Chain A
Amino acid sequence: MTTAVGTASVLEAEGIVKSFGRHRALDDVGITIRPGTVHGLVGENGAGKSTLSKILSGVMRPDEGVVRVSGADVAFSSPGAALAAGITIMQQELSLATDLTVRENVLLGRHPSRFGFVSERRMRRDFDEIIERTGFELDGGTRVEALPLAKQQEVEILRALARGARVIIMDEPTAALSAQDGERLHAIVRSLRDSGVAVIYISHFLDEVLALSDDVTIMRNGRHVRTLEAEGATVDDLVEGMLGRVQEENFPELAPVRDDAPVVLELRDVRRRGQTDGVNLSVRAGEIVGLFGLVGSGRSELALAIFGADGRHTSGEVLVDGEPARLSSPAAALDNGVALLPESRKDQGLFLGMSQRRNATMTCLSDFDTMGVVRSAAERKAAVSELHAMGVDPVAPNGEVGVLSGGNQQKVLFAKTLLRRPRVLLLDEPTRGVDVGARRAIYDIVADLVAEGMAVVLISSEFDEVVNMSHRLCVMREGRIVKEFASQDVSHAAALAAAFGVSESSTFIKEVT
């Protein structure tokens, strides 16, 4: 930290203004990125982080203001122009050609060719060169589709490096990663920094941002709040800047499970085909059981299996209120009082082009059905009241869901999942991509539901969330529950060790936690 902020910059923006219709997304925002540093960018959803990063990377053009690269004014007309200047962005939705191989993706747009024919040999050589230079562990011949998300991100980073990127903007790169993969990505970010590449790191995980960054810029409501050095700053500092007030307690108090609470959900030997032993689990009324584990440990698959969405791949017994329930389809599960809030609201949960109201009532249209016709007035009333109850703001029954912020979309998804109150609620990553304020609102909703006697299974990759929002914590590995803890006295290290299947005192676990 010998260079003071602002003296030398690889990328700089000043007085950026960007409006969408009446909404001013960015208002006189400036940022200065020093070469070879990690620059954290934090703020609630809608604070303008993504808009700013899109302007810096040429995806959008600012209405006013100036962007400078190494001190020279630039006006990017496209992401390609930004890339030519060494600026690239890794968005939450990766932009890889998934049908092609790793090698082809990395060299995409600059296939070495001879007389118009791609020279396979030269491609291999170029690729191996890049791999050697950067130290990534990637097999060039694998189709990208077959890679896990974490590896796909590495492909995208490698592609940026192959084109000589000097600034890489990462928008929520660890949101969908397991703890282990997240840690690996951090190592990559550090090595990028050490090799002189600047990284703009956007994340909701504030401690991650602090640990990783040299500078942190805080945004709120489309404005720049302040930029500070990460060293010496605390999470509370960031949250105060983001919210404009001191953060309240993060998690609501959960009422203890009553001793006489009946078992609502019981799983007996639920297993996927080809697996040696299954999952046994019971969840009582008013209880939240957290499922913790690495991505690929079978948590989401278990939730889908309980919900009857896994087809013929699953065997075993599911009992709801002591009655055997043949959950052969999601429709059957819903009829038995089991509801699922799926992992990806965009791909599995919501109908983005449809209205809030139609989304909210889609799982229980039969409740408003007279001879096949929807009783419109009753349906609308139920939808509006549930959307209000979930805190959607603003409730616009006929407004499209796709235009809402991530937090609001997630609340619509809660309304859709809860409109017909289930007995058993399966929550798969309920706060993914949701900002701090909306998060607390969602926790409160869940706490109220269990207080009413609902049985909840909570899947989350965030240890803090899963441990604070559950009574019991089950750790999964390879499709099985390998360890169970009482949530109030489990350490991050113990849970992680169980998830990895290693001893708690291993140096790896110590490093990661």
Chain B
Amino acid sequence: MSRPEEPIDRFAAAQSESRRSAVRLGSKAGHEKRTEVLFRDYADPDSLRRLAGEIKQHTLDHLDLYLERAEARREANGAQVHFAADAEEACRTVLGILQSCGARRMVKTKSMATEEIELGAFLERHGIESLETDLGEFIVQLDADKPSHIVKPIMHKDRREVARTFEGHGLGAYDDTPEVITRRAREHLRRKYLEADAGITGANFVSAESGRLVLVTNEGNSRFCLAATRCHIAVVGIEKLVPRDRDLALFLNLLGRSATGQALSVYTEFIAGPRGAAQPDGPEEMHVIFLDAGRSEILAGDARQILRCIRCGACLNVCPVYRQASGHAYRGVYSGPVGAVLTPLLAGERFPEFADLPRASSLCGACNEVCPVDIPIPDLLLRLRDRGKRAGVKPAGASPSMKTFARLASRPAAWRRALRAGRLLGFIPGPLRPRALRVWESNHVLPPWRGGAFRAWMAERKRKQP
């Protein structure tokens, strides 16, 4: 073919069968668990999703007020609040805090926001040892790889790959038993927690009413980061706010079930400030960095509903395109349906580089059906396609030009002529057929052309009727 293919399709085609299989089965299991548990525990889960969506949309529509409220509460609780307009400022702010409290080593939890700003690499360049503690992220860091799913970072790897990585990094002789792998990580990391000076986290939610950050994990790594170190820095996207503490009950119940089929994750931490006065363990100081990095711009646009996202990963799990392509195909921190919307938007001026992502969808709508905050993802993908076209981005795939189609479809006489002329398609040799048709025929047998047949039948029928 003369023109290159769509990048995500090419990536999918080049992927190994074993990787595709791992991604598909992992996603399917996640989706089935989510559905089973939601419908076991609630009479009408869809009404809860819509309610949660309205609460989040309301918060976004009034984000300036809620952010101000959260800031005031946090300062009253003894935490320091910072703002970062972009990734670079966020990284510098973190570095400044670490330097001013004399930290040389930090441990961090899984946080999409810190991955967006590439915090770990920045800190390493400035002499701060930065260690991922979530097991999947720890393995990704050892491998200098990238996560392929926002909740299950190494869904694309099998145990043999992990065992080889551990062996290569001096974490014991080759053993691919998942239990052994986990124990080794546990032993290695607890030493690291106790040697670290600072703990860096994200936040799943921030209550504007109490100012509490909510951190949700299964492994206990965030608890350890905070129990063992003396300085806590939380990097939080401004869209993470919810209005009140009572709203957290709804969001936490939906998040656990949507992400992993659990009612609640093992550890749900509600953090208002540094450690209590009588508590010997825990951070003496706490900093919250509210991160913009493109969010206010998205808020101003016509795809702002994407900011409702609570990072559960349910849309990834159900998406048939994600299952074929896998997370790495999306070339960003966020993959799957949410990534197809968020990555081009967060890219700001570099939107055209990612304009192919929203096209990689059959618009099936399964994502919206499972989204705990009811984000109308297909509509947002369509808006982004319109934006891409207006920005002059030319799709790489075999999609036919719509100009000819639109001309024919708005001129009835020309349309009817084309219907009759379509019979001639069969006489055009393969290589001369339009590219879209050749691509179609590489995967399908085209049905016989019947242009004009229905119209003739209908006209005849009308003639016979009174």
Same complex for A and B? Answer no
